[in-house]
Amino acid sequence: MTIENTILALIAAAREPADRNAARAAWVKATAAAWRAAQRQMDERCDEAVTRLSEVEFERLCDEEEAKVDAFRAPLKAVAERDVWPRDLHWHRI
């Protein structure tokens, strides 16, 4: 490996944490936005259904909607509580 290639490799390695942090920040923003959208949709659907469904049907609907919300909340919670990131956002060589 030439000295130029070595220097380029060192620069790339030094840049990796910043790139990874930027990717993680983008993922958090996008996932949080999707979570908020899912929560709004759940609220709208449940608000609309509360007067027209029986209590059992309403609970079933709310459980289904909550599962959709949890699909976005769970990975955010894993990151916040246990530092568990999606596979493509893992640090290399650690």
pLDDT in tens, 28-75: 999 999 999 999 999 999 999 999 999 999 999 999 999 999 999 999
The residue type of 12 is A
The three-state secondary structure class of 92 is coil
Query: Taking each helix axis from N to C terminus, what angle separates 3-49 and 55-82, rounded to the nearest 10 degrees?
Result: 160
> Are 65 and 42 in contact, with CB atoms under 8 Å apart?
yes
CA distance 73 to 64: 14
Torsion sign over Cα 38, 43, 44, 45: positive
What does the pLDDT read at residue 11? Answer: 80
Of the pLDDT bands very low, low, confident and very high (cuts 50, 70, 90), residue 5 is confident
What does the pLDDT read at residue 2? Answer: 87
> Are 91 and 83 in contact, with CB atoms under 8 Å apart?
no
Between 31 and 7, the higher pLDDT residue = 31
What does the pLDDT read at residue 94? Answer: 47
CA distance 75 to 83: 10
What predicted TM-score, i.e. pTM, was given to this entire model?
Answer: 0.77
The mean pLDDT value for 12-22 works out to 79
